[in-house]
Structure 1
Amino acid sequence: MRAPTPLVLAMTAALLASGCFAGDPAADAGASNGRIKLAMLQPPRSGLSPLSDDAFKLSRWSTAETLVTLDAEGTALPGLATGWQRISDRAWEFTIRAGVSFHDGTALTPAAVANSLDRATNASPKPRILDGVSLTAQAREGSVVVTTGEPDPLVPHRLSSPQLAILAPSAYTPDGRVSPVGTGTGPFRLVSVNGTTTATLDRFDGYWGERARAAGIDVSFVPDGAARAAAIRSGEAHIAEAVPVSQAALLDPATITEVPMPRTNTLYLNTRSGPFRDAGLRAAVREAVDADEIVRAVYEGRADRAEGLLGPALPWAAAGRAPLAGRTAPAQPRGAAITLATFSDRAELPEVASVVQQRLEDAGFTVTQVVREYAHIEQDALAGKFDAFILSRATVLDSGDPVAYLKSDFTCDGSFNLSGLCDPAVDELVRAAAATEAGDARRAAVLAAEAAVLRTDAAIPMLHERVIQGDATSVADSAKDPRERTLVTTATHLR
């Protein structure tokens, strides 16, 4: 286990000194007055805009809500919409829940819903869930009609994405900015955000559903995993997300929950430029990487070796996956110089990079490693400035369906295509999967597209992570969500 850097130690000390955490575990419940103290992994990257990945923070805090929710199996359920029906090949009508108030006191109306959806559709860049999707929303009496440019069998699932949360009209400014402060509909009202350091939420007593049991949520953003785990041990936090594997064994087993999740640790290889334009060298990487070693040495067995892009959180993937045939034969690296990059926000990834670097050098590559915080490396990764990039990637995060992930990461026009992959066969199979109705046929189409991606060796899946969450023994009923959409709910409280 590496010691925290001086910067991280200074940041943690500042958080503690500023009172973001209470320091006396014995007096904890009384001092917090029923408020949940939450230590989160990543600070906001886009000012908590719901049109970005920050939307998942808003969802985990139960402050911003969507028309549709998903159950554990990925089935679409009512949210701010009480029901829906498909009224044509391209149009769906959603009945809007009556009696709902936004946190600013205005009423949820079909016009407000249509406004939020139109703002997301017209945003630049678009939310990832709308990548390649043409969508319009029209308000009617008591409902909203959502129309897509092409038939889309997963519109209800798509509208469950936190990136399509419905906010009050006051959230949107003429210059395109979106503020979730005091503009959601959830059981907790976002009161304030202190940059990338803290956020404060209070219980919203005008909530349309069950009243939250906790008085509020006090959020601290603590990128250092050791500091998050230490906060659970000392009582300085009630809940800590993404506890590093190296810290899990140091915690009381009663405070640790471990759940297989749809998150894959993948090595993306740059097919646009550099040595990995050569399929043979990509195959050499595939042969060199030892996933079992990474699971054993870095994750201490708290992960699952990857057989594909989709892991055990989707049991149907393992059951339906066929052995791959016709793979490219490895070429000799002959000292090919490559840059291998990853980010430090997830504590295990720099260690994974070191193990991968050693195996690639053993295979004959010359490797330079780059590690930064995610906020400082994402842009370069998307611009193709690295030959290889290790990413911990959720595979069904947006819609509860992996097609959105396959499209964004592996198609020619994908918005998160780190490999720069542009393969007509992959594009065609992803399009076919996207057009298939939900059920066994869609799952088979997804696996066909996955196989096509794997044959390119543009992405080398190494392992599937597990959710390791820390909960103080004083906490009851926090959510343990493999999709990382929910965390503090109306039921979460202090004993």
Structure 2
Amino acid sequence: MRFARRRRLLSGLLLAPLLSGCFAAEDKSSPSGSGSGPGERLRVALAFPPAENFSPYGSDATLLSRLGVTEGLTRLDANGAASPALAESWRQEGERAWVFTLREARFQDGTELTPAAVAAALTHATRADPAPAALSGVQLTAEPAGKRQVRVTTTDPDPALPLRLSSPSLAVLSAKAYREKGTVDPAGTATGPFELTSTGGGNRAGLDRFDDYWGGRAQASGIDARFIADGTARTNALRTGEVDIAEAVPVAQVSSLDKGTARELATTRTTSLQLNTRSGPFADPKVRAAARAAVDTSVLAKDVYEGYADRGQGVFGPALSWAADKREEPKGRARAARVHGTAITLATYDNRPELPEVAQVLQQQLKKAGFTVKVEVRESSRIEGDALAGKFDAFVGARNTMLDTGDPVSVLASDFTCDGSYNLALLCDKRVDRAVAEAETTADPARRQGAAMAAEAEILRTDATVPLVHQRIVHGVRTSVHGVLLDPYERTLIGPGTRR
């Protein structure tokens, strides 16, 4: 009886909305993905170039999912709950095992989606170095469990596993994808409606329609993707008709778009100031408190983001409607030190054009508080590794907190615990780790949300992160284009029904 009751408790998490009032919405004017016409190719401008040769385990995983190349066992539905993708259904066995029943599908190389192939793909993900963020703090094994079934077992109970398996970094690829020395090639080995067929020096990619896609033949015959880090250039490419879709239009450029081409979307993306807690001036919590006290987030929301953002309230913003009601005030924060000429280096990237401006505003605010601030700006793929290695005192980044798993607890484990794989603040605090660990073992949806917010309060207590703004994003889409996927998690953009 105890196990039966536990199973009901855990499965309840998967049915409850983790995200309210903010969801992936396909343009209702698009037809189904099973149309018979040849379709035209879509021209798309993306903000972030591939940083890891299209590896499915890091930041490039999201590029692949946005372009409709890769899929996982599950996906997030309109309410942020796990829904079927390559797995038609699933059930829990005991406290640590889940059995997923696969749909009939083929990889783009013509081989069949089998339990052995899925188990092998998940096993490769567990061995990736660095590990995918979705597996932060989680150890799992996968094995075939029948003709159409895969059993996934975790070392510790994981109530959020079906959500976790929706992560772009846990996409399923065929056996041909996995090469020597851990390299992975998604070209022609994925399951999505579009197949990666060519890459061009890191700034272009070509994709062709995969006609045997299990979800129906895509409307567009292919995709010509360009990676344009400069936001103004990306917007100009849309305005001059060079591309059909331009993601993440800078807020300063929105007014220049033609009528009807701006698609505004509330997201779960938070821009934060991460302070290096391991070395340098911000290893002292009193100095971190001084930096936090110096920041005026209202200026950023109003002036830098021109109203397309809300003031930072915590790790989780208003797109998660339950967060505000469950938010706890941090207790036991350090008193701010008096700062007299303390020199710091503040870094950020320019793929999101507002971030360098945010850094400049922060430089002035911190200067007034007594800091001497040097700002360093690079392209994201050339700076993120140095930030994770602790080479800067502070780092400004924009993070979609629900991107990796759709589970708020998982992002806290990844970003703020001692063993976190994306811990830009290099935080290692016993109280934070305990709070996150308690949240990870909580299955009831409401209690899990409350535990996540209790852990957030512990994180904010350390002043390792200073939430600046919660963003809304604007995509530029020509009026002739239909079926673009507007996704608050920013995992999807092009689907089978996207066409022009």
**TM-score (normalizing by structure 2):** 0.91
Other-structure match for 2:376: 370
Other-structure match for 2:106: 101
Matches within 5 A, 1:63-212: 63-98=69-104, 100-141=105-146, 142-212=148-218
Matched-pair contact (CA < 8 Å) for 1:137–1:145? yes
Matched-pair contact (CA < 8 Å) for 1:136–1:147? yes
Aligned letter for 2:319? A
1:384-403 CA deviation, whole Å, 9 max, x = no partner? 11111111111111110122
> Displacement, 1:371?
1.0
Structure 2 residues without counterparts, runs of 5 or longer: 1-37
Matched-pair contact (CA < 8 Å) for 1:65–1:185? yes
Matches within 5 A, 1:328-339: 328-339=334-345
Other-structure match for 1:303: 309
Matched-pair contact (CA < 8 Å) for 1:265–1:393? yes
Aligned letter for 1:118? T
Aligned letter for 2:219? R
Computed over aligned residues only, the root mean square deviation of the Cα atoms, in angstroms, reads 1.2
> Displacement, 1:451?
0.4
SS in structure 1 at match of 2:439: helix
Other-structure match for 2:245: 239
Tell me whether 1:319 sits opposite 2:313 in the alignment: no
Matched-pair contact (CA < 8 Å) for 1:84–1:93? yes
The equivalent position to 1:224 in structure 2, one of 205, 230, 238, is 230
Distance 1:408 1:65, change over 3 A: same
Aligned letter for 1:83? S
1:434-482 CA deviation, whole Å, 9 max, x = no partner? 1111510100000000000001101000101112101011101101111
Other-structure match for 1:18: none
Distance in structure 2 (CA, Å) of the matches to 1:208 and 1:273: 51
Distance in structure 1 (CA, Å) of the matches to 2:481 and 2:155: 46
Larger deviation, residues 245-254 vs 86-95: 245-254
> Displacement, 1:413?
1.1
SS in structure 2 at match of 1:315: coil
Aligned letter for 1:105? G
1:124-159 CA deviation, whole Å, 9 max, x = no partner? 221111122111001122100000111111110111
Matched-pair contact (CA < 8 Å) for 1:260–1:312? no
SS in structure 1 at match of 2:385: helix
Matched-pair contact (CA < 8 Å) for 1:93–1:143? yes
Other-structure match for 1:425: 431
Tell me whether 1:462 sits opposite 2:460 in the alignment: no
Other-structure match for 2:452: 446
Aligned letter for 2:118? V
Matched pairs, number: 462
Distance in structure 2 (CA, Å) of the matches to 1:435 and 1:467: 33
Aligned letter for 2:140? L
Tell me whether 1:34 sits opposite 2:2 in the alignment: no
Distance in structure 1 (CA, Å) of the matches to 2:355 and 2:181: 37
Tell me whether 1:485 sits opposite 2:491 in the alignment: yes
Distance in structure 2 (CA, Å) of the matches to 1:179 and 1:56: 15
Other-structure match for 1:5: none
**TM-score (normalizing by structure 1):** 0.91
The equivalent position to 1:256 in structure 2, one of 262, 267, 270, is 262
Matches within 5 A, 1:396-415: 396-415=402-421
1:170-205 CA deviation, whole Å, 9 max, x = no partner? 111132111111111111122112231211111111
Distance in structure 1 (CA, Å) of the matches to 2:381 and 2:191: 29
Matched-pair contact (CA < 8 Å) for 1:248–1:256? yes
Matched-pair contact (CA < 8 Å) for 1:229–1:247? yes
Tell me whether 1:340 sits opposite 2:346 in the alignment: yes
Other-structure match for 1:379: 385
Structure 1 residues without counterparts, runs of 5 or longer: 1-31
Matched-pair contact (CA < 8 Å) for 1:70–1:400? yes
SS in structure 1 at match of 2:471: strand
1:329-382 CA deviation, whole Å, 9 max, x = no partner? 211111111111111111111100010000110111111111111111112111
Distance in structure 2 (CA, Å) of the matches to 1:132 and 1:397: 17
Other-structure match for 2:51: 45
Aligned letter for 1:136? T
1:278-308 CA deviation, whole Å, 9 max, x = no partner? 2111111111101001111211111111111
Aligned letter for 2:372? T
Distance in structure 2 (CA, Å) of the matches to 1:101 and 1:420: 42
Distance in structure 1 (CA, Å) of the matches to 2:56 and 2:121: 10
Aligned letter for 2:184? V
Other-structure match for 2:363: 357
SS in structure 1 at match of 2:426: coil
Distance in structure 1 (CA, Å) of the matches to 2:259 and 2:304: 20
Aligned letter for 1:463? V
Distance in structure 2 (CA, Å) of the matches to 1:407 and 1:325: 20
Query: Relative contact order: is structure 1 or structure 2 higher (C-alpha 8 Å, sep ≥ 6)?
Result: 2
Distance in structure 2 (CA, Å) of the matches to 1:140 and 1:354: 55
Other-structure match for 2:3: none
Other-structure match for 2:220: 214
Larger deviation, residues 404-413 vs 147-156: 404-413
